[in-house]
Every structure is written in C-alpha cells, then in structure tokens.
Amino acid sequence: MAGYKGHLAGATVFFGVYFVGLVFVFAVDEAYRQFSEIELVAYPFVLFGLCLMFGLWPDVDTNSKGQNLFYALFFAVDVVLIATRRFEEAAFLGLFAILPVIGKHRGWTHTYWAMLLIPAPLVVLPALLFPEAEPLAGLPFYGAAVVGYFSHLFMDGLVVPFPRRRRRR
C-alpha cells in the first residue's frame, strides 16, 4: 500500500505512458493542428493535474492528503455555489461529497466500476456546457482521470498483488 507520495509518483509514471499514447494518436492525423499554441501547452498540464488528483481520489474515504485536498476543493466550490444563490447545486455537492466517508476504507472507492464512473462527468459536462464542441471533447480528460485512478489501484496492489516483504527481526 502506497502513501500519497507513492500514489503521486505512480500517477506520474502512468501519465507519462498515457501522454505518449495521446501524442501518437494526435500526431497520426495531425489533429494537434486544431489547437492554439497556448492550448498545446495548457492541455498537458491540465491532463497531468487531473491524473494526479484522481491518483489520490480513492483515499478520500480515509484521513489522508487526498481527503484534505478534495474536501478543501468541495468547500470552496460549495461557498461559491451558495454565494451565487445556487442552493440546489450546493446541496447536491454536499450530498455527493459525504458519500466516500460513509463507506469503509478500501470500499467502493477502490473498485473498477468507481474508476470508470467517478470521472464520467469529464465526458458528459463538456458536451452539455459546450454543445458546439465535438461530442467527445472531454475524452482526453476522462482518460487522464481514469489513468490516475487506475494507477492508485495498481499502487495499492489491487490490480496485480504485490508480494509481501518479510520484516527482518
């Protein structure tokens, strides 16, 4: 079981592989030409940030650096929603924010279905918020989130069990 530094390192390695794959895919048909120079620099940083965040996400169900990060983020978003009088959205955010801490550690947040479902808004929201954009515009962001999540499960030994080391006495 890795700590937060191990999960960040694992997410970084997995992101490197994912990013090389994206570069290859976008280079094959020169799809990168659709982006401005700023986007070509900014998108990789956003993708990397998402990968790191979702590399920490599964541990939001226990007292951890990931929990501290996400609940600070939830709090800030909730304050903005309340200040802009979007009470219904604030209530739903509060409801969904408490779900991980209701479960046990390494419960539902450490499952494959959660790995695929939790980042799903990254595909759906761009299509809803920007109907003029490509239907799958959020797919690279979803992919980065899933890769980060998968790296967490991998580092915890839930994909391929790591052999236990015996302690010397």
Q: What tens-digit pLDDT sequence spans the chain (169 residues)? A: 678 899 999 999 999 999 999 988 878 777 677 778 888 889 999 999 999 999 999 998 888 898 899 999 999 999 999 999 999 999 999 998 988 888 777 888 999 999 999 999 999 888 888 888 777 788 999 999 999 999 999 998 888 877 666 666 5
Q: Where are the domains of the chain?
A: 4-65+104-155
- Phi/psi-derived region of residue 157, left when phi > 0, alpha when psi is between -120 and 50, beta in every other case: left
Determine the Cα–Cα distance for residues 107 and 112; give it in Å rounded to an integer. 11
Largest CA distance in the chain: 65
Number of H helices, E strands in the chain: 7, 0
Give yes or no for a contact between 46 and 142, defined as CB atoms under 8 angstroms apart.
no
pTM: 0.85
Determine the Cα–Cα distance for residues 17 and 143; give it in Å rounded to an integer. 12
Residue 103's identity, in one-letter code, is G
Question: What pLDDT shows up at residue 61?
Answer: 87
